[in-house]
Amino acid sequence: MKDYTLQWADELTVLKGIVQKSGLKCETKWGADVFIFQGKNVISYGGFKHYFALWFYKGVFLKDASNKLVNAQEGKTRALRQWRFTAVEEIDEQLILAYIREAIRVEKKGIVLEKEDASGIAIPEILAEQLQSKAALNAAFNALTAYKQKEYIEFMAFAKRTETQLKRLKKIIPMIESGIGLNDRYR
């Protein structure tokens, strides 16, 4: 996998310098700089194939008066919003700092996105059969949080081919039995 941060090294250095002026504390999370306020992730940055970006973890709550923010993955990303750039000339330090100040105000107010309800999502047939036939697996699945159950349901639902579903099922059964969420290793 190509590291696009190298492609945008100079531009990302400029962004980092601006974000550092905000007074936010910088920590390394998931191998990247994440700027936090009172233990909460506020902003980060990175390089991608065709652009480099800032992202606001609770960007959905920002007014975005200049219409700079986009949803990185429509249908998947709920709160995070990206501000994308393709050249260093597009970087407006004062505007970025204004957005960061607003993001800090959102954190100070304690605004959070309501949790999604996992109910109403159909459990894929192949997983449902396993849960019905194995009482211990069913009990372990029901002991998981609704969020973790949803991760497993979606993971299975997005597999179209039976072969892929079987491979995924083989992977997740031991995880469910151990009480581990699908993406716990990334948290």
Q: Which tens digits make up the pLDDT trace of 163-175?
A: 999 999 999 999 9
For the chain, 187 residues long, the average pLDDT of each consecutive 10-residue run is: 78 97 94 93 94 95 96 83 97 98 95 65 85 91 89 89 92 94 80
Global pTM exceeds 0.85:
no
| Shared domain check, 15 and 84 | yes
Amino acid at 27: E
Q: Where are the alpha helices (H) located in 110-145, listed in sequence order?
A: 125-133, 135-143
Rounded Cα distance, 136 and 179, in Å: 11
Q: Is 116 within a domain?
A: no
Q: Domain count for the chain, please give it.
A: 2
Other Cβ atoms less than 10 A from the Cβ of 83: the count is 26
pLDDT reported for residue 76? 74
Other Cβ atoms less than 10 A from the Cβ of 175: the count is 17
| Shared domain check, 98 and 150 | no
Q: Is 3 within a domain?
A: no
Q: Is 1 within a domain?
A: no
pLDDT reported for residue 186? 74
CA–centroid distance for 131 within its chain: 28
pLDDT reported for residue 17? 97
Other Cβ atoms less than 10 A from the Cβ of 11: the count is 21
Q: Is 114 within a domain?
A: no
Which structural domain, as residue segments, surrounds residue 157?
125-186
pLDDT reported for residue 46? 93
| Shared domain check, 129 and 103 | no
